């Protein structure tokens, strides 16, 4: 063995012996102090939360009227959404009762009693609250007052 390799072996043995002595004797620094002169690592700046726009949900029981005479596709009645002042906002999907997101507020829902846009309709008033689901059942639809103005408006 050369002198250089003997030196490396001695250094390894000394390191192992020192590590064993520290672990057996429990050698740790005796006095630990907070140094005001040293800068502490700070937490990350909070990430801005996305602005939560209020949203509630509306679910309307799907009415299925069978297959269309013309094309054999499934038939559903028309459903219209109005704001509280009677302004048409949109035509709602009428083939699912999955909740749809809406701004909280009062709405008027007009639901057809058949697939005929000239047919009879029912008018429901619904309230949508933030974080909650308003569910319109078949009983709600059946007990809603009839709405004739739409069919009169379309026919003129």
Which CATH number does the domain housing residue 72 bear? 2.60.40
Residue 23 has pLDDT above 60, yes or no: no
Our CA angle for 18, 24, 29, nearest 5°, is 75
pLDDT score at 47: 77
Banded pLDDT at 138 (limits 50, 70, 90):
confident
The per-residue pLDDT of the chain, averaged, comes to 75
Residues whose CB falls within 8 Å of the CB of residue 114, separated by 6 or more in sequence, listed in order: 65, 77, 120
Q: Is position 106 within any domain?
A: yes
Number of independent structural domains in the chain: 1
Query: 1-15, 39-53, 96-110: which has the minimum mean pLDDT?
Result: 1-15
Q: Is position 124 within any domain?
A: yes
DSSP-derived pairing of the beta strands 133-136 and 56-60: parallel
Q: Is position 130 within any domain?
A: yes
Greater model confidence, 36 or 114: 36
Banded pLDDT at 68 (limits 50, 70, 90):
low
Total-model pTM = 0.57
Residue 7 has pLDDT above 70, yes or no: no
Q: Is position 17 within any domain?
A: no
C-alpha span between 109 and 31 (Å, rounded): 74
Q: Is position 41 within any domain?
A: no
Q: Is position 133 within any domain?
A: yes
Its domain, for residue 124, covers 56-155
Residues whose CB falls within 8 Å of the CB of residue 100, separated by 6 or more in sequence, listed in order: 57, 58, 59, 92, 93
Banded pLDDT at 107 (limits 50, 70, 90):
very high
């Amino acid at each position: 063995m050369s002198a250089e390799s003997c030196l490396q072996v001695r250094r390894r043995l000394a390191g192992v012996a020192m590590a064993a002595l520290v672990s057996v004797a429990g050698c740790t620094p005796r006095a630990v102090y907070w140094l005001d002169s040293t800068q502490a690592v700070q937490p990350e700046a909070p990430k801005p939360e996305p602005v939560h726009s209020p949203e509630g949900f509306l679910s309307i029981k799907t009415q299925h009227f069978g297959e269309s005479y013309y094309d054999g596709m499934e038939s559903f009645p028309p459903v219209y959404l109005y704001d509280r002042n009677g302004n048409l906002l949109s035509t709602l999907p009428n083939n699912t009762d999955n909740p749809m997101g809406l701004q909280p507020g009062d709405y008027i829902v007009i639901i057809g009693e058949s697939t005929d846009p000239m047919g009879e309709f029912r008018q429901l008033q619904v309230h949508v609250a933030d974080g909650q689901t308003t569910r319109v059942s078949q009983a709600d639809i059946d007990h809603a007052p009839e709405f004739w103005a739409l069919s009169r408006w379309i026919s003129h």
